[in-house]
Structure 1
Amino acid sequence: MAIIKPFQAIRPVKDKVSFVASRSYQEYSRRELNAVLDFNPFSFLHIINPGYKYAKNVSGQERFKLVHNRYLEFLEDSVFLKDDKDSLYLYQMQKGSATFTGLFCGTSVQEYRHNQIKKHEDTLQHREKLFANYLETVKFNAEPVLMTYADNKTIAAILRKEMQAGPEYLFTTRDKITHRLWTISDSKIIGKIQKAFKEIDSLYIADGHHRSASSNLLAENAEKKNPTHSGKEPYNYFMSYLLPESEIRIYEFNRMVKDLNGLSKEEFLIRLDEFYRIENQGDNDYNPSKKHHFSMYLDGEFYSLYLRKKVYKFKDALSKLDTQILFKTILEPILGIHDLRKDKRIQYGSGKHNIIRMKDEIDKGKFAVGFGLVPITISEIKAIADAGLVMPPKSTFIEPKLRSGLAIYEL
């Protein structure tokens, strides 16, 4: 059963929404970030970069307090207004042939704790604490967790009907993405959507594991401090964007390693031969096309690597994952990389033309070898989550990447 909660969002006024909405802070280069802050006074980036106002870099608790102050200023200046009714927010992003249509809503920390909201990534405790402290200080949630659910005809039909009306927001951003948002405030329609979601067994986190974990930690801390805790307080929920699994787009991360762990090229290829049938593909860009097949770029040439399935044994959903296979057969035993999160000898790349970028980086001598994979599927993600297992880091690059500041959930 999936519980979803309508809420009274804090939203940009219609004539400023295109200026307010921003990509995630980490996606901006320093030059682009400075340009936005210099020339767009309404950008949500001003809230999460509060020191810009004083030409000062701020961090820690000082930054958190200033974020809260900048948020209050946007409210005071009527850049943001609060809806007067509990609502669900139907939000669509469209770029070229790709369309993403989902719902902003509140999701339950209780369901997160009881594994009805399912995870496939580990989180770091210090980051959980940091983000929970951030949420407690700023008192709002502006970056939704991206979750997915099994396609549902009832939900799809309701959303299609709602989209027949003109959207509340309609704007296009510089990256050629068209954004539309509808407000669903009719209690009968909300009830139908909630009833349909109750028929769905589980929600799966696609992107935002640390945001989910920190919201849960915030709720645990708030509950301990609240002698009249009822379970209905805002901190018992966190904002999510729910998208049917057929609309999730999953891309791969390539792996690049700085050296061959003391091996010569010939010694390295001989070690690979234990688990792979190796074919030299020359200097033409080569991408793998099947599960358990990999591309490798080494010393100016591409190779195809075909897993010897009689040698490598599948034990569970994790062992079948290509990122895990690469780790267990090459990265750890041959290249000596034991901690994929901390080892500085390995780096990751993603994107449409990443095989070309990987080749360029290796040709420049920054890395010795690179590996390409096929994307992981949503079925594999669900199998990992259902089994309570954890993927290796940088296993998936998932779209859509959501805008910040379109709908804000107050804690």
Structure 2
Amino acid sequence: MATLHPFRALRPKPDLAARIAAVPYDVVSTEEARAMAEGNPRSFLRVSRAELELADGTDPYADAVYERAERNFAALRESSLVVEDEPSVYVYQLRMGGHTQTGLAACFSLDEYDRDVIKKHERTRRDKEDDRTRHMIALGAQTGPVFLTYRAQAEVNDITRRATAGTRLFDFEAVDGVQHTIWRVGGADRDALVAAFTRIPSLYIADGHHRAASAARARAEMRERGLAGTSLGDGADASTFLAVAFPHDQVQILPYNRVVNDLGGLSADDFMKAVRERFEVEPGPASPTKRGDIAMYFQGAWHTLRPRVTPDASDAIGSLDVSVLQEHLLAAVLKIADVRTDKRIDFVGGKRGTGELERLVTAGKAAAGFSLYPVSVSDLMAVSDAGAIMPPKSTWFEPKLRDGLLIHLI
């Protein structure tokens, strides 16, 4: 069963929250982070991507980057952040257009992460783990939340709904139009949420595998080095990690689309012949209307592809559209065997949509684009429950949580 740990968050003063909050560190380049932080000395990107303040070309893993992050964090704490008086749980609501999702921000057990009570579906890269582990230890803090999901529970929903009738701690619209609203939950409702979570059998990492893995490594390294850490008396120390847990029926997964740079030496006619041998091909929309359909933009037109060999529905991974595309077209026709390392493929996720695929192909920057029906949360849970790994670049979660709003001191 899952454990929800209330904690004494380090957080912005309410009137500064909108200026401090920043996009997740791993969704922007250094150049994009620099542009976003320009003119805003309080932007949390100056902590999470501190290389933006250093010379162009600075290695983002250089000692100077972590030293600058530590210095900027200390200055921000002094001027703009406060520590919560009592251990609390926080309701974190995201609104993007007509979509709303409401989750619980708290700390979660790394022991349960180790035991797969908190389940994973993605492999992590050692270099990315190294970076965030070092960042956490340098700051003595986890500064951005992991995105968790769980099978919705009526009891949790009822308590959460009651909490949102109270006074808002933060409420602002970010520059991308997403509304971020946070309520602090203490007292009886906090305790009721802790009790309710003991009846949730499993949590699932939706987004933030590297943050969670880095938190586990930071815990181990702090123990090995005898680092005392920060004790706020809330029971949420380096043995826990910061996350926001959303009920599964509120989570939104957007398509994670693909473009290929060339046809692997094939002519346009030979490419289409090879595709038709493996798929039924007909004119169709830019966005597939159901699972099993794949949309391809090629030579100025959209085509719907349906595999001639029906995938085995009992195969949680092989039946995914992203797996069908990979096995029967990208690998079989274009000889792109590993999308994680092959430079001939690129990915277009989230709100950029099919228009970006068309733009890239029309501009000659890509030879073809592929639009996929989004993976469902049920697909993700099935793969995680099987102890398996989702295909690379198969889920894009939107809207994104913000860094710097709720910070876990370790």
Give your verdict on TM over 0.5. Answer: yes
Residue in 2 that maps onto 1:132 = 133
Secondary structure, aligned partner of 2:100 = strand
**Sequence identity (%):** 32
Q: In the alignment, residue 404 of structure 1 is paired with which amino acid?
A: D
Identify the range of structure 1 (38-47 vs 323-332) with the bigger mean alpha-carbon deviation.
Answer: 38-47
Residues 1:234 and 2:233 are matched in the alignment: no
Confirm or deny that 1:374 pairs with 2:373.
yes
1:179-328 → structure 2 map (5 Å cutoff): 179-186=180-187, 188-226=188-226, 234-281=237-284, 285-310=285-310, 312-313=311-312, 316-328=315-327
Give the drift of 1:314.
Answer: 5.0
| Residues 1:27 and 1:211: Cα distance change in structure 2 (over 3 Å) | closer
CA distance in structure 2 between the aligned counterparts of 1:19 and 1:91, rounded to whole angstroms: 18
User: 1:206 and 1:291, CA in 2 relative to 1: closer, same or farther beyond 3 A?
Assistant: same
Alpha-carbon shift at residue 359 of structure 1 (Å): 1.6
* Structure 2 Cα separation of the partners of residues 183 and 201 of structure 1: 25
Cα distance in 1 between the residues matched to 2:332 and 2:367: 17
For structure 1, list consecutive stretches of 5 or more residues without a partner in the other structure: none
CA contact (8 A) 2:339 2:345 kept: yes
**Quick one: structure 1 residues 126 and 176, their matched pair in 2 at CA, closer, same or farther if it must change by over 3 Å?**
closer
* Contact persistence 2:96–2:399 (CA under 8 A): no
Is 2:85 the counterpart of 1:80? no
**What SS does the corresponding residue of 1:234 show, helix, strand or coil?**
coil
Q: How far apart, CA to CA, are the structure 2 residues paired with 1:270 and 1:96?
A: 41
How many pairs does the alignment contain?
403
2:257 and 2:348 in contact (8 A); partners too: yes
Q: 1:376 to 1:193 in 2, by over 3 A?
A: same
- From the superposition, tell whether residues 286 and 93 of structure 1 become closer, same or farther in structure 2 (CA, over 3 Å): closer
User: How far did residue 7 of structure 1 move?
Assistant: 0.7
Measure how far apart 1:157 and its partner are. Answer: 0.8
Contact residue 340 and residue 392 of structure 1 kept, 8 A? no
Task: State the partner residue of 2:232.
Answer: none
Deviates more, 1:90-99 or 1:107-116: 90-99
Q: Distance in 2 between matches of 1:369 and 1:300?
A: 9
Counterpart position of 1:167: 168
Shift of 1:51: 5.4
Alignment pair present for 1:410 and 2:399: no
| Residue matched to 1:89 | 90
* Shift in Å, 1:20: 1.2
Asked if structure 2 preserves the Cα contact closer than 8 Å seen for 1:10 and 1:407, the reply is: yes
1:389 partner letter? A
User: Structure 1: how far apart are the matches of 2:156 and 2:367?
Assistant: 49
Structure 1 match to 2:391? 392
- Which stretch of structure 1 is more off in the superposition, 23-32 or 251-260? 23-32
> Which residue does 1:362 correspond to in 2?
361
Q: CA deviation at 1:387?
A: 0.6
Shift in Å at residue 315 of structure 1? 5.7
CA distance in 1, matches of 2:227, 2:353: 53
- CA distance in 2: counterparts of 1:171 and 1:205, whole angstroms: 26
Listed one character per residue, the Cα deviations across residues 108-157 of structure 1 (whole Å, up to 9, x for unaligned) are 11111111111111111232223212211121111100001111111111
Please report how far the alpha carbon of residue 49 of structure 1 lies from its aligned counterpart in structure 2 after TM superposition.
Answer: 4.3
- Equivalent AA in structure 1 for residue 167 of structure 2: G
Alignment match, 1:108: 109
Cα-to-partner distance string for 1:270-313 (whole Å, 9 max, x where unaligned)? 222333112245xxx53221212111122222221111235x54
Residues 169-228 of structure 1, C-alpha deviation per residue, up to 9 Å, x if partnerless?
222333333322211121x32221111111111111111011111111122222334499
Q: For the residues of structure 1 that align with 2:55 and 2:257, how far apart are their CA atoms?
A: 38
Q: Following TM superposition, by how much is the alpha carbon of 1:34 offset from its aligned partner in structure 2, in angstroms?
A: 4.2
Do the aligned partners of 2:33 and 2:49 also contact (CA within 8 Å) in 1? Answer: no
For 1:235, what is the secondary structure of its paired residue?
coil
**What is the TM-score normalised by the length of structure 1?**
0.91
Corresponding residue for residue 341 of structure 1 = 340
Relative distance call for 1:167 and 1:222 in structure 2 (3 A) is same
TM-aligned CA deviation for residue 350 of structure 1: 2.2
The 1:243/1:313 distance shift into structure 2, 3 A limit, reads: closer
CA contact (8 A) 1:324 1:391 kept: no
Higher alpha-carbon deviation: 5-14 or 188-197: 188-197
Q: Which segments of structure 1 move beyond 6 Å, counting only runs of 4 or more?
A: 29-32
Give 5+ residue unaligned stretches, structure 2. 230-234
TM-score by length of 2: 0.91
